[in-house]
Amino acid sequence: MDEKAEELTAMIAEIRERVRARHPNGSAPGQTPLPDLMPLLHARDAADAKVAAIGTVNPRGGGVANSLIQSVKRLIARALDWHVREQVEFNRAVMNCVQATLESLGETNRGLAILSARIAEASTRAELQAVREETSSLRAEARELKDIRLRWSEWHVHWEKTLADAEIHFLRSVSELQAAFNYRVTVTESGHRDDIKAQHANFEAALARTTEDIQKRLWEDLARVRTEYETLIHTELRVLRQKFAAAKPIEAPLVSAPSESLAPARFDSVDWLRFADRFRGSESNIRERQQLYAGKLRDASRVLDIGCGRGELLEVLRDAGVAARGIDLSAECVAVCRSKGLDAEQADLFTFLAALDDSSLGGLVCCQVAEHLAPERLPELIRLAHAKLKKGALIAIETPNPECLAIFVSHFYIDPTHRHPIPLALLSFYLEEAGFGNIEIARFAPAIESMSSLAELPDGFRKDFFGALDYAAFGVKLS
């Protein structure tokens, strides 16, 4: 049974292939779509089977009852044959019409396939013709390219020659333009430099003349003002000296040596204020140097300045907030101090110190006075100062430094009232003997600042023999 079924299936497949070959479906050459007739064929086959079954009786199994039923069915079918005959003929006519339609549609499909094939062939021919034309165009272009390639070497040589000639001409033109530009720049720069030099020379000459004129007028004015100023000062000082000479003399004789600014009687004709300004230094310089004492005495009170002179130290102490007073033998110096609002009076230092209460001073400064005293009076001054200072108070004695040989050349003996220099060791010994401790020595006013030739000496030798022009010895009262 399976073999027969397979054989029947193969036969049906072969028949379908033949039908499809005769009646093509799908698409024709050139991708032209064709109508599919297979569903119609299937419907026709099914309808044809139904037409063939009209008037027949379906079979049944064996048996008396089934045979009887089959006989009845056949009898009824023969009885109704006159009634369904026309229907059967109509059905067969419809099937014939469907068959004719299928054949017509098949012919139509075959015609469409042939037409599509011819159209595809024509399209192929047109494409071939376009390809031939394009090929011809490419061949023509190839021939032109071949001709260009053949002539390229000749053109290349000519082009390179033309380019070289143009480049040489261009570079020559650039070189000529650059030379002309450099020449013009050089000429312009030279002329400009000459003009600048001439203007600068004229300006310097005019500036020099103007500066010289201004300096000449300035020095003339300064000389005139200085002359007038000195004349006025000398006149005032002369008036002051005449007033003091006419006044009543001091009852107590002044037995001590003069202070820094006052000379003995045989030097009364000397203007010691002018002398101090020239050889001692300006007041601003002295004030700057004496800032050292303000630092040492910033916590002291009731400080005494022996030999206050023009009052530089008193001004420094006042600016530092330290209460201080000064004494000096020179009436002119005392007058100058009072004109500045300073507390100063004319007095002999030994007489003044002797009159003070013991332990009443908070500090004592004696600047540039010790070298004016007789040798035996200096220890007396130090012992008297020790008695009048409080415990822990500071004493400071400033004097020229004999360690510096330069003072004997142009400094120490300029003042005719100087008696003798005081070595540092001797002054320190006097202070220790009187009861002062914590002895310190401060050197200042380097000699090299006023004598630049000392820079040529070796450093060690210059330090030992040409160091500071002045020194100050500091001591603290121990008990």
Quote the CA–CA distance of 107 and 100 in Å, as a whole number: 11
Supply the range of the domain harboring residue 312.
256-477
Verify that 275 and 406 share a domain, yes or no: yes
Which among 399, 326, 167, 23 has a CA at the least distance from the CA of 335? 326
166, part of any domain: no
Two structure tokens written together for 231: 């004349």
Give Cβ neighbours of residue 262 (< 8 Å, ≥ 6 apart).
272, 328, 329, 330, 333
Question: What is the count of structural domains for the chain?
Answer: 2
Q: Does some domain include residue 165? A: no
Inside any domain, residue 196:
no
Q: Which of 106, 125, 140 is the last residue of a domain?
A: 140
Say if residues 69 and 106 touch (Cβ distance below 8 Å). Answer: no
Residues 272 and 405 placed together within one structural domain of the fold: yes
Write down which residue in 140, 161, 181 finishes a domain.
Answer: 140
Give the model's pLDDT for residue 364: 95
Over its C-alpha atoms, the chain yields an Rg (Å, rounded) of 73
31 assigned to some structural domain:
yes
Give the chain's residues under pLDDT 50. Answer: 1, 248-265
- Nearest Cα neighbor of 317 from 387, 365, 361 is 365
437 shares a domain with 298: yes
Query: In this predicted structure, what is the pLDDT of residue 103?
Result: 74
Report which of 87, 102, 80, 94 is spatially closest to residue 20, judged by C-alpha positions.
102
Q: Which residue in this structure is represented by tokens 């089977």?
A: 49
Q: Which of 436, 419, 416 is nearest to 427 (CA)?
A: 436
The reply to whether 270 falls in a domain is: yes
Instruction: Report how far apart the first and last C-alpha atoms of the chain are (Å, whole number).
Output: 156
- Residue 146: inside a domain, yes or no? no
- For CA atoms 450, 454, 458, 461, the dihedral sign is negative
Structure tokens at 369: 């006075």
Residue 200 lies in a domain: no
CA distances from 323 to 90, 95, 203 (A): 160, 155, 58
Query: Do 414 and 270 share a domain, yes or no?
Result: yes
Range 145-153 contact pairs with CB under 8 angstroms and sequence separation of 24 or more: none
Question: Could you tell me if 466 and 342 lie in one domain?
Answer: yes
d(C-alpha 241, C-alpha 233), whole Å: 12
Q: Which of 91, 118, 140 is the last residue of a domain?
A: 140
Burial class for 431, CB neighbours closer than 10 Å (0-12, 13-18, 19+) = buried
d(CA 70, CA 60): 7
Task: From 393, 391, 473, select the one nearest 429 (Cα to Cα).
Answer: 473
- Name the 3-class secondary structure at 472: strand
Find all residues with CB under 8 Å of 268, minimum gap 6, and list them.
241
Separation CA 114–CA 69 (nearest Å): 58
What was the pLDDT predicted at 345?
A: 92
The secondary structure of 129-182 as a DSSP string is HHHHHHHHHHHHHHHHHHHHHHHHHHHHHHHHHHHHHHHHHHHHHHHHHHHHHH
Question: In the prediction, which pLDDT does 53 show?
Answer: 62
- Segment (H or E) for 344: strand 344-346
Which DSSP helix (H) or strand (E) runs through 436? Answer: strand 436-446
What SS3 class is residue 402?
A: coil
Rounded to an integer, what distance in angstroms lies between the CA atom of residue 474 and that of residue 332?
A: 29
Q: What is the pTM of this model?
A: 0.45
Q: Cβ distance 309 to 242 under 8 Å? A: no
* Strand 324-328, strand 344-346: pairing: parallel
Q: Do 120 and 263 have their domain in common?
A: no
Q: Report yes or no on 201 lying in a domain.
A: no
- Do 285 and 428 share a domain, yes or no? yes
**Strand positions, DSSP E, 15-88:** 26-28, 32-34
Q: What is the structure's pLDDT at 17?
A: 59
| pLDDT for the residue numbered 255 | 37
CATH of the domain at 458: 3.40.50.150
